[in-house]
Amino acid sequence: MKLKYKYGLGGVAIGHGFKPISNEQAESTLKAAWEAGVRYYDTSPWYGLGLSERRFGHFLSSKKREDYVLSTKVGRVLKATKNIPEVMWQEPSPFDYKYDYSAEAVRRSVEDSLQRLGVAYLDYAFIHDLSPDHNGEYEEGVIWEDHFEVAKNGAMPELEKMKEEGLIKAWGLGVNTIDPILKTLEVAKPDVFLSAIQYSLVHHKDALERLLPAIEKSEATLINAAPFNAGLLTGQKRYNYGGEMPEDISDSYKKILKIAEKHKVNLVAASLQFSLAPKAADTVLAGASKPEQVQENVKALEEKIPAEFWSDLKQENLIEQKAEVPA
């Protein structure tokens, strides 16, 4: 399938992924995105334990449903609680969660999301975090392949049913690793994948060698998400949602930054455009917590970057030789 928009706004920061923000700041960020022409919005029940979805839904309630594209995730079911679990979110909503990729849970998750968002259908539903980087977070003794078997017989056919019913228009996986995407292409016919932190200026070799060729051979398309590795490439001292900063990644970033300064290149623009450059990638998805961030991102997609910048990166082996770069 061909996706409609080349840039989308992700909902991690709106759900307190890195620090709490007020309802007013979230609303102003979403408003700035809309006014800048953004029409694709991605969120999840996981982001702030329902908070991100509610904020997106509140903002979008004044818009015509056919005027924007909306995606969310399945794979965790929320349940109200007074004992909020310890999670990555700052000041989350009062819910607990359980991983569940069964047909029944996925249908409940979609219906719950439709209520929080206040819409009649989703454009894309992504099976979320069905991935080896979440081993150790599932129930004791359970690994991602165990949940994948449940999803293969539960979530995947159920999402196909929901397509037929008109509750969703398309489905795929939303994950931070490549193997689950390749495995899904072997057992089902997904429409679209959201691949995060896998294709950026500082980390793209594996995706270049395995993910992009698989997408090009399939009927699915790709959204490259987290092109800044959750903050690093915008100058934040943060890598991949709070993970440790590998020394080689830090070194690569510093070298790329030096070349960007030499050519007077905005690294935000270079990061976004690089993640959007592959033929297999229709869309780049990035988050924001402030109006000026999303405004900068939208403008950055149109900035002209000298060819010498890209050739210098390849000459210094900072990006792969066969990596596609913006024209």
Residues 15, 37: Cα–Cα separation, whole Å = 22
SS3 137: coil
pLDDT digits (tens, 9 = 90+) for 16-46: 998 999 999 999 999 999 999 999 999 999 9
Express as a percent the part of the chain with pLDDT over 70: 99
The answer to whether residue 3 scores a pLDDT higher than 90 is: no
Matching residue, tokens 């159920």 = 158
Residues 308, 302: Cα–Cα separation, whole Å = 17
Matching residue, tokens 């070298």 = 255
SS3 225: strand
**Per the structure block, which two tokens stand in for 107?**
């249908």
Burial class (CB in 10 A: 0-12, 13-18, 19+), 279: exposed
At 241, is the pLDDT very low, low, confident or very high (cuts 50, 70, 90)? Answer: confident
Residues 282, 3: Cα–Cα separation, whole Å = 6
Q: Does the pTM exceed 0.75?
A: yes
**Per the structure block, which two tokens stand in for 184?**
């899904």
Mean pLDDT taken over the chain: 96
Residues 141, 251: Cα–Cα separation, whole Å = 37
Q: What is the DSSP letter of 120?
A: S
Radius of gyration of the chain (CA): 19
Express as a percent the part of the chain with pLDDT over 90: 93
10: left (phi over 0), alpha (psi -120 to 50) or beta: beta
**pLDDT score recorded for residue 238:** 84
In the chain, where are the structural domains located? 7-315
At 243, is the pLDDT very low, low, confident or very high (cuts 50, 70, 90)? Answer: low
| 95-99 and 76-80 beta bridge pairing | antiparallel
**pLDDT score recorded for residue 230:** 83
Matching residue, tokens 């679990």 = 85
| 192-196 and 168-175 beta bridge pairing | parallel
**Per the structure block, which two tokens stand in for 130?**
């069905």
Domain 7-315 has CATH 3.40.605.10: no
